[in-house]
Amino acid sequence: MKNREEIILRGVAGSPGIVIGKAYLVDREGVDVVEKFHIEKQHLEAEINRFRSAVGKAKDELRKIIDDIPSEYREQASILETHVALLEDKMLYDKTIDYIGKEQINAEWALKRVVAEVKTIFHNMTDDYFRERSADIAHVSDRIMRNLVGATSVNLGKIDRRVILVAHSLSPAETSQIQLEKIKGFVTNTGSEASHTSIIARTLEIPAIVGLFEATEMIKTDDVIIVDGTTGKLIINPTEQSIQDFNEKTAGYERQKAFLNRRSHLPAESLDGVKLNVMGNIELAEEVVSTLSYGGDGVGLYRTEFQYLSRKDFPTEEELYERYKDVIEVMIPRPVIIRTLDINGDKAVAYASISDENNPALGLRAIRYCLKKPDVFKTQLRAIHRAAVHGQVSLLIPMISCVEEVVAAKRIIEEVKESLEADGLQYSKKIKFGIMMEVPSAVIMADIMAEFVDFFSIGTNDLIQYSLAIDRGNREVAHLYHPMHPAILRMVRRVAEQGEKKGIGVYMCGEMAGNPLYTPVLLGLGVNRLSMNPQAIPAVKSMIRSIDISKAEGFALELLEMKTADDVLKKVQDAYGSIMSNWIYSESEES
């Protein structure tokens, strides 16, 4: 059999690590589940038009992908040109329209039938060329089908071997259900660095590339692929040389990880003697284990909404209580910050959605949802207050945009305490109350907000999204997503300054906190505690041990006066980048 040529693609580095394996294209799963309907004569034209517009949309999507391919990868553009041509192919296009009209059947069924016929013809040909064309037909028909039926959900349960998942998109709920023994890594067409899908991949430590527009178009099931989640580079059908490079990179990556992990239990104490708490972000209770094993000093963000995803109805107070208790007890004596429900936005829950929203990120998300659904909120608050007697717990409210929301949340908390008292249940009376600083209005009002709360936690994932007006899951604008944007640094400084004035803690739990290069900047700006995906903890602790915080303070304040994110990044890289390269090259060093 003829060797297929190596193809290199570039996406967004979603979750670090490098892996090689066979691809498994999941989009076809949902597309296969197509039903047959009879179409009345008077509706046939509309049905044919529906098919035409799905094809038109597929064409536009492909054109867009082709236009975005950098000139050095022209070769892959030619494959996609073939796909555009196939969309107009008589065998596929005309025949489908023919079937719809003659047999009075729905477009999905007609297309499925045509594809099955074409595939049979091609399959019987022994030549590799025709086999490849059969796969191309499958790709284009999937694209049309997706447009006809809308987004399909991915059925991960069917996978029975170790593969690298390739999907148009994976929801945060689907990603959180990935079974590590089956899935080595994944690649998606959609998403960007701060999308929840990437965040979960980092927590699960699965290498991932996201925002690779043409992934499902270019990769076929059983293709051997290399996924470099650290750089976003993907190789299809790697050559011997690429495999050798992969082996060297893996070894280097493992050495660096081992270097950092060996020191992860040392305290995060700076050169000038400042001791800091470095904590882990978790989505599921099970992740506390990795927080501890990476040397985390507690859970700085427990994203509780994941217990609400992938189920048919709200969890009960007892279920929630048991989960929270598990986490709190395992972490004792370390603190656990439990964030209340942050559903909707990109973490939609079918049974909890209130209406179709045009702008879910700006919609009924997080505290807004909880205030509208006080029963759901109270159930969670009761569970948290009861579980808190088992350890050291703080409460964190997401997406606060005004003082009224803080006041309303606090009033509900008081009602919850009264009801627990009346029920004669044991509960904690002194839980610290914090708010996420992730909406620009809250940052501007930080001086006032500080009077109502015990601590602030800066959520840079959303703060960047809302202040720079960049959808955090949209690859198209991913290049504008700059944590080092001077506007973001000024906002962080504002929160830290106001927190310091009022004597309350200023934490950061956004992904920015997990990048060791940013550590000196954040601590220099006055953030007191950092929380991040657990696997980032060792590197951040190492960075803290290598820096002088008082020097970082002067350095960070200078950044506030700079003009562009690139200038800031360069200055930070020049000042602190070499510390990180030492971790890479100190492989011979033993602790």
Which residues contact ligand PEP by CB under 6 A? 199, 301, 303, 342, 438, 459-462, 509-510
Q: Which does 538 bind (CB under 5 to 8 A by kind): Mg ion, ligand PEP, none?
A: none
Q: Which does 106 bind (CB under 5 to 8 A by kind): ligand PEP, Mg ion, none?
A: none
What part of residues 409-448 is at the interface with Mg ion (CB under 5 A)? 438
Helix and strand numbers (H, E) in the chain are 23, 17
What 8-state DSSP symbol labels residue 316? P
* 141 vs 519 by CB, closer to ligand PEP: 519
Nearest distance from residue 207's CB to ligand PEP, in Å? 20
* 344 vs 546 by CB, closer to ligand PEP: 344
* 193 vs 342 by CB, closer to ligand PEP: 342
Instruction: Please give the Cα distance from 252 to 254 (Å, whole number).
Output: 5
Cα–Cα distances in angstroms (integers) from residue 554 to residues 282, 548, 551, in the given order: 33, 11, 5
| Of 277-285, 326-334, 343-351, 456-464: span binding Mg ion (CB under 5 A) | 456-464
Number of residues forming the site for Mg ion (CB under 5 A): 3
Per-residue tokens: 196: 């929840």
Nearest distance from residue 91's CB to ligand PEP, in Å? 47
Nearest distance from residue 510's CB to ligand PEP, in Å? 3
What part of residues 189-248 is at the interface with Mg ion (CB under 5 A)? none
Q: Is 459 in the site for Mg ion (CB under 5 A)?
A: yes
* 21 vs 526 by CB, closer to ligand PEP: 526
* 86 vs 343 by CB, closer to Mg ion: 343
* 99 vs 306 by CB, closer to ligand PEP: 306
* 29 vs 305 by CB, closer to ligand PEP: 305
Dmax over CA atoms of the chain, in Å, equals 81
The continuous run of DSSP H or E covering 235 comes out as strand 233-236
509 is catalytic: yes
| Three-class SS state of 158 | helix
Nearest partner of 540 among 523, 515, 522, 521, judged by Cα: 515
Instruction: Please give the Cα distance from 115 to 95 (Å, whole number).
Output: 10
Q: Is 295 in the site for Mg ion (CB under 5 A)?
A: no
- The single-letter code of the amino acid at 392 is Q
Nearest distance from residue 516's CB to Mg ion, in Å? 21
Nearest distance from residue 398's CB to ligand PEP, in Å? 7
Sheet architecture: strand order including 183-188: 7-10, 233-236, 224-228, 18-25, 163-167, 183-188, 208-210, 12-15
Q: Which does 303 bind (CB under 5 to 8 A by kind): ligand PEP, Mg ion, none?
A: ligand PEP
Q: Which does 510 bind (CB under 5 to 8 A by kind): ligand PEP, Mg ion, none?
A: ligand PEP
Per-residue tokens: 105: 């059947």
Instruction: Please give the Cα distance from 495 to 514 (Å, whole number).
Output: 19
Nearest distance from residue 344's CB to ligand PEP, in Å? 11
402 is catalytic: no
Nearest distance from residue 307's CB to ligand PEP, in Å? 14
Q: Which does 388 bind (CB under 5 to 8 A by kind): Mg ion, ligand PEP, none?
A: none
Q: Which does 297 bind (CB under 5 to 8 A by kind): ligand PEP, Mg ion, none?
A: none
Q: For the residues of 165-185, what is the DSSP string, one character each?
A: EEES---HHHHHT--TTTEEE
What 8-state DSSP symbol labels residue 4? P
Q: Which of 139, 196, 385, 485 is flagged as catalytic?
A: 196
Nearest distance from residue 379's CB to Mg ion, in Å? 22
The single residue listed with the structure tokens 């927590």 is 203
Q: How far apart are the first and last CA of the chain?
A: 50
Nearest residue relative to Mg ion (C-beta): 462
* 199 vs 236 by CB, closer to Mg ion: 199
Interface residue with Mg ion among 462, 491, 496, 555 (CB under 5 A) is 462
Q: Is 174 in the site for Mg ion (CB under 5 A)?
A: no
Per-residue tokens: 240: 């011997």
What lies within 8 Å, CB to CB, of 402 at 6+ separation is 441, 442, 445
Bond prior to 333 in cis (omega within 30° of 0)? yes
> Helical H runs in 358-511?
366-372, 374-387, 403-422, 440-444, 446-449, 460-468, 486-502
| Three-class SS state of 25 | strand
The gap from C-alpha 441 to its chain's centroid, in whole angstroms, comes to 24
Q: Which does 460 bind (CB under 5 to 8 A by kind): Mg ion, ligand PEP, none?
A: ligand PEP
The residues of the shown chain that bind Mg ion, judged by CB under 5 A, are: 438, 459, 462
Which are the catalytic amino acids?
196, 509
